[in-house]
Amino acid sequence: MQTPLQVTFRGIAHSDTLVTHLQQRVERLERIFDRIVSCHVVVELEGQHHHDDRCRFTIHVGLPEHELMVNNAPRGEHSFEDATAKADRAFDDAESQLEQWVGRLRERRHEHMRTST
């Protein structure tokens, strides 16, 4: 990645353990596409009550001439999962979006090669 992972905590205490986990998940994204430009993860408390442990993960993945964004808010029975599990669900969504984008990129290249010959 051209720019190191950036993690922002809003309304929730910084966690080195969570940052390490997020770095591992970004490495998985890089295995799908090795030209990721940047990744910024925002971890923020959902709502105004500090006793409420629901947090939201927003992931911005910068790609050449494109950006992916995942906004993974707590919902239903998953609201009170631990932060690592919530991060995993958000990164699963990011991986899915990235795989779809890479697939479309390959299709365009193949189409371009077919029409160029």
Give residue 52's pLDDT. 45
Least confident of 49-53, 88-92, 113-117: 49-53
The CATH architecture of the domain made up of 6-116 is 2-Layer Sandwich (3.30)
Q: Could you give the C-alpha distances from 42 to 26, 57, 73, 117, in angstroms and in order?
A: 14, 6, 11, 45
pLDDT digits (tens, 9 = 90+) for 55-95: 899 999 999 989 999 998 766 555 557 889 999 999 999 99
Q: Band the pLDDT of 49: cuts 50, 70, 90.
A: low
Q: How far is CA 26 from the centre of its chain?
A: 7
Q: What whole-number percentage of the chain has pLDDT above 70?
A: 82
Distances (CA, A) of 99 to 72, 82, 104: 18, 26, 9
pTM of the model: 0.84
Scan for tokens 């193949």, then name that residue.
110
- Position 53 scores a pLDDT of 59
Q: What is the pLDDT of residue 106?
A: 86
When pLDDT is cut at 50, 70 and 90, the band that residue 1 belongs to is confident
74 or 23, greater pLDDT: 23
